[in-house]
């Protein structure tokens, strides 16, 4: 038995070694060259590959061309003419015994994709003309990472609600409408300077049928049969076609993206953001591929492209059943070339790696190295999970990470029984010293710190995952429960006095901490995600607060601008804090030595510190005690109040000296008056 195991293991290792030896420097995909159209596909173990070319997506009498293979595993055919607008796919046979079928494999380098919306994922590449867009001298938005104020958003959700008032709602171009309630005008009015788009590379929209078995699995988890957020990538080089065509839910068994208009629309969106000084970061998913559909890398060469165990089964540390083998030379090449393509062709300013720890270190290092040759200020952010958790490793390689320490330490791990500092509790191993560490950027010089540089810490309290901050606070304050059915969402979203105080204090901590700041769309008005009672799906949680809305293409995810008006006080507070952070370098550029904390009993959930930076002197005081005020002696001088429990901004609200009282669950920011600062010098 042992010999058989060893023999199998040896064979497995030899096979992997052979596959690792394949590499080609040839340009892959479909492209026009010297009046011809070249088609190339890397499929090292294929026995036969043919190209299919169609004039229309459902053509039956299509033309088929046998391809030839070189010694590096690249199949090629060259056709006369510039075949722009033609649809194409590949028929791949992986051994002599395999029966030829009509199954077409999508080119992994396809620059535009037509998609037939079903869980089987029929897709065709479209030959397009590259470098064919008037950028009007547009360039990347290049800014210091510490200056980034990121707004994480979903392309469709940002304008799909009727309250947005935009034309072409739910699309790339809907975001470019100016002078409307929603879209670009709203985002610009907040003062943020960067948008982070949830996945917008072509992805699988449709989940397998609910309560039916498919490929050995029964869908018991998704009654909506939708993947709305986009974390099931189908084509890395192609923008999602659905975001060019409709403000309605994806139409099952209908084609999207056939005109390739999505290519131009995505560029128009980026150009519009850039004109307003907003950088664009893309959320990209290289750790796994769309799970259920046929005709992708699984059918091209599953052994080459995926991490498999000794029995040939897909590994699934991503939780999605088919982890990409990023360490393979040609997978690494694909990922790096993909990053560079989005930078050069679409002027994208940065990237956020979903489950970044599942991408091998060499690939990540090469991405950073190659991308910085093009744009030295390109932004790289990782979700540092997946097969481990390593924000330190990311930071060592010049990649920022979402800081879950500040997220959990400040608001808590969950609203039921693991609340954080915001509620007057010490979550997990948090204490006063750790809260101070978050203010300074969660640096490795502090006990349990994570980052080499403060600008590697992406400070956030809400993302697309989990409860919104507003709902977390509603639940954590015990003013609603997870089992409550909410019939009137417009009434429910209105913040109570306690909820308002908690939301403001959370925002104050976030925007005065060193590092990159990120908020999620709607956080600024305490967005809620209540499942409508009228939802057309067999969802047993109708009317309740949701915490995982990846599957819902409806009002749960849409940004309702009426709700922003209902909580206008909080929205104003956020815009004020954003203007404060942008106006004063002290909240972005201060070094460790520039921040001085007041002595504090380790059990007190208040924090007070001064920042002395660039000739300006600030004092920040926050009291998370839910039932007691905090009084302390101010340093000598007159202090202008810029932020208190009511308002935030850069305008003087009052002048104080001597003593200061910070009420429970509130905070303030003071700035020393200039004339006093001069006398001190």
Q: What is the mean pLDDT of the chain?
A: 94
- What CA–CA distance (Å, rounded) separates 138 from 430? 45
* CA geometry: angle 478, 480, 481, nearest 5 deg: 90
- Using a CB cutoff of 8 Å and minimum separation of 24, what contacts does 144-147 make? 144/377, 144/455, 145/379, 145/400, 145/455, 145/456, 145/516, 146/454, 146/455, 146/514, 146/515, 146/516, 146/588, 146/589, 147/193, 147/582, 147/588
**How large is the average pLDDT for residues 300-319?**
92
Identify the pLDDT of residue 217.
Answer: 86
Kindly report, residue by residue over 25-56, the tens digit of the pLDDT. 999 999 999 999 999 999 999 999 999 999 99
Which is higher by pLDDT, 15 or 229? Answer: 229
Residue 602 binned pLDDT confidence (cut-offs 50, 70, 90):
low
pLDDT, residue 679, reads 41
* Tokens, residue 189: 């009015």
pLDDT at 247: 58
**Each residue's pLDDT tens digit, 192-231:** 999 999 999 999 999 999 999 888 889 999 999 999 999 9
359: pLDDT strictly greater than 70: yes
3-state DSSP helix/strand/coil percent for the chain, to nearest 5? 30, 25, 45
Kind plus residue range of the DSSP H or E element containing 18: helix 2-20
Q: What integer pLDDT is reported at residue 13 of this predicted model? A: 84
* Percentage of the residues of the chain whose pLDDT score is greater than 90: 88
pLDDT of amino acid 179: 80
pLDDT at residue 90 greater than cutoff 70: yes
Instruction: Determine the pLDDT at residue 28.
Output: 98
The residue with tokens 């101010």 is: 634
pLDDT, tens digit, 9 for 90 and up, residues 317-349: 998 889 999 999 999 999 999 999 999 999 999
- Examine the pLDDT at 71 and tell me if it is beyond 50: yes
* Ordered structural domains, the chain, with CATH: 23-126 (2.60.40.10), 147-583 (3.20.20.80), 595-680 (2.60.40.1180)
The candidate with the shortest Cα–Cα distance to 524, out of 495, 549, 498, is 495
Paired with 641 in beta bridges are: 654, 670
pLDDT tier at 380 (50, 70, 90 boundaries)?
very high
In tens, the pLDDT along 438-496 reads 999 999 999 899 999 999 999 999 999 999 999 999 999 999 999 999 999 999 999 99
Q: Which secondary structure element, helix H or strand E, spans residue 493, and what is its range?
A: none
Q: How many beta carbons lie within 10 A of that of residue 212, not counting itself?
A: 10
For residue 548, what are the contacts with CB-CB under 8 A and spacing of at least 6?
465, 466
Q: Is the pTM of this model over 0.85?
A: yes
Q: Given this model, what pLDDT does residue 456 score?
A: 98
User: What is the number of H-type helices and E-type strands within the chain?
Assistant: 17, 32
Supply the pLDDT for residue 225: 94
Give the per-residue pLDDT at 681.
38
What pLDDT, on a 0 to 100 scale, did the predictor assign at position 295?
93
Tell me which residue of 328, 286, 334 sits closest to 307, measured CA to CA. 328
pLDDT tens digits for 100-155? 888 999 999 999 999 999 999 899 999 999 999 999 999 999 999 999 999 999 99
Cβ-Cβ contacts under 8 Å for 213 (sequence gap 6 or more) = none
| Nearby residues of 210 by Cβ (< 8 Å), 6 or more positions away | 219, 222, 223, 224, 225, 538
pLDDT of residue 5: 55
Q: Please, is 129 exposed, middle or buried when counting C-beta atoms within 10 Å of its C-beta (0-12, 13-18, 19+)?
A: middle
For residue 633, the Cα-to-chain-centroid distance in whole angstroms is 43
Radius of gyration of the CA atoms of the chain, in A: 27
- DSSP state string for 346-403: H---EEEETTGGGS-HHHHHHHHHHHHHH-TT-EEEE--BSSSB-HHHHHHTT-EEEE
Six-digit token string for 164: 């947005």
* Token pair recorded at residue 619: 């004092």
| pLDDT of amino acid 678 | 47
Q: Quote the longest CA-to-CA distance of the chain.
A: 89
Task: Measure the CA dihedral 343/231/334/377, to 10°.
Answer: 30
The string of pLDDT tens digits covering residues 225-279 is: 999 999 999 999 999 999 997 656 778 889 999 999 999 999 999 999 999 999 9
Dihedral angle, C-alpha 266, 269, 275, 280, nearest 10 °: -70
Question: Residue 600: its pLDDT value, please?
Answer: 83
Tens of pLDDT, residues 506-560: 999 999 999 999 999 999 999 999 999 999 899 999 999 999 999 999 999 999 9
The residue behind tokens 């403060």 is: 454
């Amino acid at each position: 038995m042992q010999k058989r195991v060893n023999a199998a293991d040896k064979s497995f290792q030899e096979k992997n070694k052979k596959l690792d030896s394949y590499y080609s420097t040839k340009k892959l995909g479909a492209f026009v060259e010297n009046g011809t159209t070249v088609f190339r596909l890397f499929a090292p173990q294929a026995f036969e590959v043919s190209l299919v070319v169609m004039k229309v997506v459902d053509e039956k009498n299509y033309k088929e061309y046998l391809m030839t293979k070189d010694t590096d595993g690249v199949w090629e055919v060259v056709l006369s003419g510039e075949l722009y607008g033609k649809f194409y796919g590949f028929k791949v046979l992986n051994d002599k015994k395999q029966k030829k079928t009509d199954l077409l494999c999508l080119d992994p380098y396809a620059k535009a994709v037509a998609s037939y919306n079903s869980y089987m994922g029929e897709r065709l590449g479209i030959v397009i003309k590259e470098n064919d867009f008037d950028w009007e001298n547009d360039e990347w938005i290049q800014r210091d990472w510490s200056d980034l104020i990121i707004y994480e958003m979903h392309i469709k959700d940002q304008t799909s609600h009727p309250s947005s008032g935009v034309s072409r709602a739910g699309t790339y171009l809907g975001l470019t409408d100016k002078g409307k309630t929603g879209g670009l005008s709203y985002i610009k009015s907040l003062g943020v300077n960067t948008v982070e788009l949830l996945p917008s590379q072509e992805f699988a929209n449709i989940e397998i049928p609910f309560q039916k078995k498919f490929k050995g699995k029964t869908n018991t988890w998704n009654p909506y049969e939708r993947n709305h957020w986009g974390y099931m990538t189908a084509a890395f080089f192609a923008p999602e076609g659905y975001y060019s065509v409709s403000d309605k839910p994806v139409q099952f068994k209908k084609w999207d993206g056939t005109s390739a208009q999505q290519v131009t629309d995505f560029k128009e969106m980026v150009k519009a953001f850039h004109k307003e000084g907003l950088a664009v970061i893309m959320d990209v998913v290289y750790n796994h591929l769309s799970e259920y559909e046929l005709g992708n890398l699984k059918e091209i060469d599953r052994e080459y492209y995926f991490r498999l165990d000794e029995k040939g089964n897909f590994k699934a540390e991503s939780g999605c059943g088919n982890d990409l083998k990023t360490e393979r030379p040609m997978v690494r090449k694909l990922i790096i070339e993909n990053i560079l393509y989005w930078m050069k062709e679409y002027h994208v300013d940065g990237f956020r790696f979903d489950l970044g720890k599942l991408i091998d270190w060499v690939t990540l290092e090469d991405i950073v190295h190659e991308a910085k040759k093009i744009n030295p200020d390109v932004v790289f952010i990782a979700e540092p999970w997946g097969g481990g958790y390593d924000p330190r490793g990311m930071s060592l390689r010049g990649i920022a990470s979402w800081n879950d320490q500040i997220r959990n330490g400040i608001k808590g791990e969950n609203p039921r029984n693991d609340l954080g500092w915001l509620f007057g509790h010490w979550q997990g191993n948090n204490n006063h010293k750790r809260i101070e560490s978050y203010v300074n950027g969660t640096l490795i010089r502090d006990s349990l710190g994570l980052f080499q540089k403060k600008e590697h810490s992406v400070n956030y309290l809400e993302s697309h995952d989990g409860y919104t901050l507003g709902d977390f606070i509603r639940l954590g304050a015990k003013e609603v429960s997870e089992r409550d059915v909410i019939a009137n969402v417009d009434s429910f979203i209105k913040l109570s006095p306690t909820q308002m105080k908690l939301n403001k204090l959370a925002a104050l901590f976030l925007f005065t901490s060193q590092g990159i700041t990120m908020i999620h769309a709607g956080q600024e008005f305490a967005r809620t995600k209540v499942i409508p009672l009228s939802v057309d799906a067999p969802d047993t949680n109708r009317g309740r607060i949701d915490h995982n809305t990846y599957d819902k293409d409806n009002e749960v995810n849409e940004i309702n601008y009426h709700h922003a008006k209902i909580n206008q006080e909080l929205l104003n507070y956020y815009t004020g804090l954003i203007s404060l952070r942008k106006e004063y370098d002290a909240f972005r550029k201060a070094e460790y030595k520039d921040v001085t904390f007041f002595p504090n009993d380790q059990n007190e959930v208040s924090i007070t510190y001064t920042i002395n930076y660039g000739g300006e002197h600030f004092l920040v005081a926050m009291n998370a005690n839910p039932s007691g005020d905090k009084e302390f002696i101010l340093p000598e001088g007159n202090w202008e109040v810029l932020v208190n429990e009511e308002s935030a901004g850069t305008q003087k609200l009052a002048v104080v000296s001597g003593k200061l009282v910070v009420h429970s669950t509130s905070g303030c920011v003071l700035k020393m008056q200039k004339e006093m600062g001069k006398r001190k010098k």
